[in-house]
A and B are shown apart, each in its own frame.
Chain A
Amino acid sequence: AQSVTQLDSHVSVSEGTPVLLRCNYSSSYSPSLFWYVQHPNKGLQLLLKYTSAATLVKGINGFEAEFKKSETSFHLTKPSAHMSDAAEYFCVVRNANSGNTPLVFGKGTRLSVIA
């Protein structure tokens, strides 16, 4: 079985300060891990993915995440928040050995950016 725990339901940062969105996962198999962003009333956009290659993954818009197997974590970071980063972020896990299995979503973290 697989699961994802996003440790914060809401994170608020000031513009220009670092962003940290936390995610822990549980998986019986080698996992593929993803971060998606969803802006209000919009679909999902892939920020980055980990699929058993480099543990430090760089994504779009300056985001990156580090896969830490010993901590079962995949936290999302960005050095400097921008107003346009305000959105809902989902950490997602999937069995790395099969693209025919569904994705398991975390409950989401709402990021607010204060001017």
Chain B
Amino acid sequence: GAVVSQHPSRVICKSGTSVKIECRSLDFQATTMFWYRQFPKQSLMLMATSNEGSKATYEQGVEKDKFLINHASLTLSTLTVTSAHPEDSSFYICSAGPGPWNTEAFFGQGTRLTVV
């Protein structure tokens, strides 16, 4: 199957700093990628849809100025958590697929963000 690589897998940062998470499709091109967030013992919630060459679409309640998404190429989307706070600590995971007619999604390994 297709491979999605996410980096870093784990990051600890200080409050007020910014953190960038990368999501790469290694063997296919992805015009669309999705970013999810998972709080402890909860399910995955969609944060935003990342569209290559255009603005991301954010879900209700997700601050677009805090969670900056850039999808500058067909194989790379980045999520930057700006001015991080402890409540942003979570597991962030991206997904993509060869689509649009292939409905299987492939997930990155996830990024465990801890803000201290």
Residues of A within 8 A of B (CB): 32, 34, 36, 41-44, 46, 49, 51, 90, 94-96, 98-100, 102-108
Which residue from chain B places its CB closest to the CB of A92 in the assembled complex?
A: B105
Interchain CA distance A96-B45 in the complex, whole Å = 20
Told that A43-B93, A46-B1, A103-B34 touch, could you supply 18 new A-B pairs with CB distance under 8 A? A32-B104, A41-B112, A43-B108, A44-B44, A44-B93, A46-B104, A51-B103, A90-B43, A90-B44, A94-B103, A95-B103, A98-B100, A98-B103, A100-B32, A102-B46, A104-B46, A106-B43, A108-B43
Give bound CA distance, A26 to B11, whole Å. Answer: 37
Q: Is the interface of A mostly helix, strand, loop or mixed?
A: loop
- The proximity string for B residues 81-101 relative to A, scoring 1 for CB distances below 8 Å and 0 otherwise, is 000000000000101011111
Given contacts A90-B44, A94-B103, A105-B44, contact A99 B34 (CB under 8 A): no
Chain A positions within 8 Å of B102 at CB level: 99
Closest 5 CB pairs of A and B: A99-B99, A32-B103, A100-B100, A43-B110, A43-B109
Contact A103 B32, CB 8 Å, known A43-B108, A90-B43, A94-B105:
no
CB < 8 Å neighbour of B99 from A34, A51, A100: A100
User: Please, which residues of chain B bring their CB within 8 A of the CB of A100?
Assistant: 31-32, 99-100
How near does chain B come to A52, taking the closest CB pair, in angstroms? 10
Residues from chain A with a CB closer than 8 A to the CB of B36 are 105
Nearest residue, chain A, Cβ from B59 = A102
Assess whether A49 is in contact with B43, with CB atoms less than 8 Å apart: no
Contacts of B98 in A (CB 8 A): 99
CB closest residue in chain A, given B6: A43
